[in-house]
Amino acid sequence: MKPQVLLKLAGRSVGRNGMRTALTTLGILIGVGSVIIMVAVGQGARLQVRNQIGSLGSNLIVITPGTAQVGGVSQGAATFNRLSIEDVQAIDRTATTLAAVSPVVMTRAQVIGDAGNWRTSIQGVDADFQQIRDWPVDDGAFFTADDVFAHKKVAVLGSTVAKNLFPEQSAVGHRVQVRDTLLDVVGVLTAKGQMSSGQDQDDTVLMPYTTAQARLSGQVRIPQILVSADSSGDLAAAQDEIRVALRESHKLSGNDPDDFTIRDQTQIAEAAESAARIMTMLLAAIASISLLVGGIGVMNIMLVSVTERTREIGIRMAIGARGSDVMVQFLVESVVLSLIGGLAGVALGFGGAALLSHFTGWSTSVPTATVALALGFSGAIGVFFGFHPARKAAALNPIQALRYE
């Protein structure tokens, strides 16, 4: 039988009872729609993680202190800090694949401005910090290397701090007080937004690390060093160069373990995306149960259809139709039923993802491959669950089928 004839017969059979068709395909519709919505949420989360990791900086490498052991017991990460300005200088002097290096001295303090006070994160950094974090200035300018060398009392505010301390005016040209130190505001950073952890990147004040060490923290050790590689392809080589420079600076022998930790944004992104990927697969697996339920519904309704059309099947066989022709006809009807539900489910999935994004603010993204996979799976369900009814129809005895009332 020609494909167009099969499709015409299937369409006529499906359209014969619209209410039953709608109820039959409801399970497929809900299943496909649920899978697409869950995948859209998971994919949106992964894209958001990528954007947030990218907002940390260009080809970023983070160096933190290592771990200490007391009596053979590890005290955890960052418990043994030997990082210093000399290490920063050693890295900058010896590495050949680095674009910029900056120490980071961190503390928290109350910042007083024209409109009141605001408790925030204070970061003492080098002038290269702006290049490393790829963080442009929205108003004013970033402080310079000369400012760092001269221990200048200047500051660059994050947009959150600027809005709270100078809500109706430009912060540039004004002063803020951090503890007992007055700082001249020279710039306001462009807003970057929240990280996946919920931390507001814009809730910060940047100042020269030399000023921060001398007037705020009093620390000689550096809790963090940020480095930017020349390119993403140089990340591995840059980490090797940093490791060699730090081991030489710390006078570690060949058997001594590293007393520092080096991570790049690729590792951070992979860890975050792996968690998002697993969650997406879990949610999609739960939602796909609806597809199986819908498939069982298709099988049941096809069995009913075989029973209702037993006499029709007998007539077809009597005038020359083979069992394989009958089987193919019912399989096509089953697939058409499933695909109708699948197409409606795709529409539901896109609409549901859009509504979810609108009302919750979550980022959603529907990959094209997911739509194709959902439709393909719908068709496969039609074949799988329609096979038994189709085989039952093909196995009918023509004489007994003609006698069926």
Pairing of strands 60-65, 260-264: antiparallel
Query: Residues 191, 306: one domain?
Result: no
- pLDDT value of position 70: 44
- pLDDT value of position 144: 94
- Are 21 and 14 spatial neighbours (Cβ–Cβ below 8 Å)? yes
- At residue 71, φ and ψ (nearest 5 deg) are 60, 35
Q: How far apart are CA 124 and CA 56, in angstroms?
A: 17
- pLDDT value of position 330: 75
Residue 57 forms part of a structural domain? no
Residue 269 forms part of a structural domain? no
315 pLDDT band, cuts 50/70/90, is: confident
Of 117, 122, 106, 109, the closest CA to residue 179 belongs to 109
208 against 371, higher pLDDT: 208
273 pLDDT band, cuts 50/70/90, is: low
Strand partners of residue 112:
117, 177
Query: Residues 206, 311: one domain?
Result: no
Query: Residues 218, 294: one domain?
Result: no
83-87-89-92 Cα dihedral, nearest 10 degrees: -110
Amino acid at 123: Q
Q: How many CA atoms lie within 13 A of 89 on its CB side?
A: 4
Amino acid at 133: R
Q: How far apart are CA 161 and CA 168, in angstroms?
A: 13
165 pLDDT band, cuts 50/70/90, is: very high
Query: Residues 23, 123: one domain?
Result: no
- pLDDT value of position 59: 81
Residue 84 forms part of a structural domain? no
Query: Residues 34, 127: one domain?
Result: no
122 pLDDT band, cuts 50/70/90, is: very high
- Are 111 and 176 spatial neighbours (Cβ–Cβ below 8 Å)? yes
Q: Mark which of 165, 200, 228 sits at the end of a domain.
A: 228
- pLDDT value of position 50: 67
What's the DSSP call for residue 136?
A: -
Residue 70 forms part of a structural domain? no
- pLDDT value of position 378: 82
Query: Residues 124, 45: one domain?
Result: no
Query: Residues 112, 39: one domain?
Result: no
Query: Residues 287, 399: one domain?
Result: yes
Residue 236 forms part of a structural domain? no
Q: Which of 222-236, 270-284, 306-320, 346-360 has the lowest mean pLDDT?
A: 270-284
Query: Residues 219, 298: one domain?
Result: no
Residue 296 forms part of a structural domain? yes
Mean pLDDT of the chain: 81
- Are 194 and 186 spatial neighbours (Cβ–Cβ below 8 Å)? no
- pLDDT value of position 405: 57
Q: Mark which of 206, 228, 250 sits at the end of a domain.
A: 228
Amino acid at 21: T
Residue 71 forms part of a structural domain? no
Q: Mark which of 228, 244, 264 sits at the end of a domain.
A: 228
Q: How many CA atoms lie within 13 A of 369 on its CB side?
A: 2
Q: Specify the number of domains making up the chain.
A: 2
- pLDDT value of position 25: 79
Query: Residues 114, 27: one domain?
Result: no
Query: Residues 142, 39: one domain?
Result: no
Q: What is the pLDDT averaged over residues 220-237?
A: 86
- pLDDT value of position 55: 60
Residue 97 forms part of a structural domain? no
Query: Residues 208, 313: one domain?
Result: no
Q: What is the pLDDT averaged over residues 349-378?
A: 83
Domain encompassing residue 217: 103-228
Share of the chain above pLDDT 90, in %: 27
Amino acid at 289: I
